[in-house]
Chain A
Amino acid sequence: MTSKKKTVAMLLAGGKGSRLGVLTKHRAKPAVTYGGKYRIIDFPLSNCIHSGIDTVGVLTQYEPLELNAYIGTGAPWDLDGITGGAFILPPHQKGELGEWYTGTANAIYQNFYFIDRYEPENILVLSGDHIYKMDYSDMLKAHAAKGADATIAVIRVPMEEASRFGIMNTDDDLRITEFDEKPKQPKNDMASMGVYVFNWKKIKEYLIEDAKDEKSSNDFGKNVIPKMLQNDEKLYAYPFDGYWKDVGTIYSLWESNMELLQDSPGLDLYDEGWRIFSRNPNMPPHFVDKSAKIKNSLISEGCHIYGVVENSIISAGVVIGEGAVVRDSIVMQQTQIGKNSKVIMGIIDEETQVGENCEIGGGGEITVLGTKVVLRDGVKVAPGESVGAGRTVRKTEGGAKK
């Protein structure tokens, strides 16, 4: 027997995130580290439990290992209840067929039975690539008040960037009249946040239809939502006002991290009533040596800092050697930066070892080292370059880029 749930959340965490380059070579985008401690997926998961949603299906596909291990039983987010919890939902064989998730709508369609077991009124569809704190229960209330078939959360974006997003055109009552996916000439600045509430009975019909349509790419934004609009279903926009950032590119990931270092950051991580939960590495407080100099930075547990750290985000268990300088950079967990090495505007992934007297980046462009990279002493990596996960670099390469 399964308990009835009013709302079931479905978190789309299967994306490859190819614009994050070497950072997503061996992990799905939602498992990318953020803010010196979190993974991107901590945000929607924490939002769910704080919004009173305790049943979350996590749809995985691309490189799911790290993500699966991270979510585990769901306990770090309190998502291990008796009647609900976090459920990892990989693509699986059904009847004769086994198939990958072909699109966002298809991923939900393939997990039909999972949702039906809870007989929910609504499903909340989320994506694992955004950093934001949002009370979904307010959105669900608005959805109910309007008697909507679907509600799409929107946020105002700068007009010049609007063409990068799905733009909603609405009437005065916020009813959506038109959905422009990445329009060349956007008519307004209300961008979809990738947060949808659907009436389950209604969307079920559309998903079944969509699955039959061979021409469809089985995507909510491209296929299902336009179809619903065509049929005059009641779709409403729900305006959200707060910090929201798509961290789907190297630059936006870097920028969003750096925004945490502002005097009063747009994203308040200290809010006692809306803690962002994460799987804790359980390490002792970090150690700052007498030779260290730290300014305007976030430093996590278990680090040993002997060098200079400025305007940077340092994750758990990182060692920064004496004389090393890390500036305007993100260093992820368990990475070591050797003595007298310099990292300027870099993103250095987990468990990477940078030798002594290395130079990584130099400003202007972001330089990225993947996970488990080994840089031998004295190696230089030019600004804007990236080094793939697992590689050992013995001497300075290339030089085409300066």
Chain B
Amino acid sequence: MIRDAFGLVYAGEQNMNLRELVYHRTVGALPVGGRYRAIDFVLSNMVNSGIRNVGVIAQRSYHSLMDHLGSGKEWDLSRKEDGLFILPPFSSSENRGEYQGIVDAIKGVMSYVRRSKQQYCIFSGSYSIYNSTYDDALSYHIETGADITMLYSVEENDFFRGERYNDVRLHLNDEGRLIDMEVNSALSDSKMVGLDTYIIRKELLEYLVEDCASRGKHLFVSDLLMGNINRLKIMGYRHEGYVGRLHSVASYYKLNMDMLRPDISGDLFYGDNQIYTKIKDEVPAKYSKTSNVKNSLVANGCIIEGEVEDSVLFRSVYVGKGAKIKNSIIMQDSEVYNNSDLEYVILDKSVNIRQGRRLVGDKVFPVIIRKGAIV
């Protein structure tokens, strides 16, 4: 258990590759896996590591994020000492309320960083989906005398070339020290992909952020890390389990479909550490006499009277009689009425599909229906 670190999560990502899914929410608030929000994974990883002090940097469209996180109670982060701190931007003489990059964002919440009593900071984005604790990575960081340790995974299959977002490729020497890195490169031959999670001593973080900002540099990877690659000892630490990344609609789609595989859902959900999320007190899913469900994930609160195959149903979805849903992701509170036919579709929250409608997308380009739409 880690007692001497605090967590800092950057949830300001606004990845436009995710199209309509992020018009009204940040990547961290994106619903995944039938029940969760993207940020649940990194928050749970931190809490499962023993971290009790977590700051979440919010930027634009953070209403749904705040609504989701609340007091932090569901992550066991509603505490007397420390706990969860949501850090929205505010205008000050130094900051106009709009961050120009992650370095700028950390600078904007520097008073929280300074106030944190722990010696180490685990800094992370919110678009990587994995289940792990940071205990071993922190031990490795201390043992190797690293200035910064960055987590990565090895990805043999490269599905999303060209649609990358914050895709950081690492080049390590034999000792595991970072010697080069590339961001969103279509040319990289490295299979080591960053998890957007870093371990750094708090004082060094403070220094590097000030140092960067004072030179008008605002980007974390390009400026803070690559700009200091020779000056600092940056080590890579490999995460062995499954990692999903919310680069694009296609990778979002793939992540959800991956969760239908028992080996992947086993790795993400049925290991030693739980993934926590907001609790809704829903009724168990109800299957009627006319339902027919195959190879799908179904959350509580659903009522299914139709056919569902190779799909992910979030909480409280209704599927009417004769409706057919295939290869689709249906978010919370959406309703698909009788005899509708959906294939390769992502329905955002509270969408209403009227009787007899037919929507067909493609595996690499699923149809997205925006939140609250009536079709």
Contacts and interface: CB of A to CB of B under 8 A. Distances in A.
Interface of A: 35-37, 75-76, 269-270, 275-278, 280, 282-290, 292-302, 304, 309, 313-315
B279 interface: yes
10 contacts: A36-B284, A278-B281, A284-B268, A287-B262, A288-B298, A289-B295, A294-B291, A295-B289, A296-B289, A298-B286
B269 interface: yes
B281 A277 contact: yes
A247 to B, nearest CB: 17
B300 A284 contact: no
Across the A-B interface, the 3 shortest Cβ-Cβ residue pairs? A285-B34, A300-B284, A285-B299
A325 to B, nearest CB: 15
Nearest to A287: B297
Given A284-B269, A285-B34, A300 B295 contact: no
Contact of A284 (B34, B281, B313): B34
B293 A288 contact: yes
Given A37-B300, A286-B298, A270 B287 contact: no
Given A284-B269, A287-B260, A290-B294, A298 B285 contact: yes
B288 A296 contact: yes
Contacts of A277: 281
A289 B334 CA distance: 23
Contact of B265 (A270, A284, A299, A314): A284
B287 A295 contact: yes
Given A270-B283, A299-B284, A300-B300, 14 more contacts: A36-B284, A278-B281, A284-B35, A284-B259, A284-B268, A285-B298, A285-B312, A287-B262, A287-B296, A288-B296, A290-B295, A290-B309, A297-B287, A314-B284
A285 B294 contact: no
Given A277-B281, A298-B283, A284 B295 contact: no
Interface of B: 33-36, 73, 259-260, 262, 265, 268-269, 274-277, 279, 281, 283-289, 291-301, 309, 312-314
A282 B73 CA distance: 13
A315 B300 CA distance: 11
A259 B288 CA distance: 13
Nearest to B293: A288
A270 B299 CA distance: 14
B291 A295 contact: yes
B268 to A, nearest CB: 8
B284 A35 contact: yes
A282 B298 CA distance: 14
Contacts of B268: 284
Nearest to B283: A269
Nearest to B315: A285
A310 B291 CA distance: 11
Contacts of A298: 283-287
A293 B289 CA distance: 11
Contact of A292 (B285, B294, B312): B294
B287 A299 contact: yes
Contact of A286 (B279, B285, B291, B301): B285
Given A295-B287, A296-B287, A288 B295 contact: yes
A296 B268 CA distance: 30
Highest count of chain A CB atoms <10 Å: which of B276, B288, B301, B314 = B288
A285 B35 contact: yes
B279 A280 contact: yes
Contact of A294 (B265, B293, B314): B293
Contacts of B265: 284, 287
B209 to A, nearest CB: 35
A35 B284 CA distance: 8
A297 B73 CA distance: 32
Contacts of B277: 282
B281 A276 contact: yes
Contacts of A75: 73
A299 B269 contact: no
B84 to A, nearest CB: 16
Nearest to A299: B285
Contacts of A313: 284
A294 B287 contact: yes
Contacts of B279: 76, 280, 282
Contacts of B286: 297-298
Contacts of B293: 288, 292, 294
Given A294-B291, A295-B291, A304-B262, A285 B284 contact: no
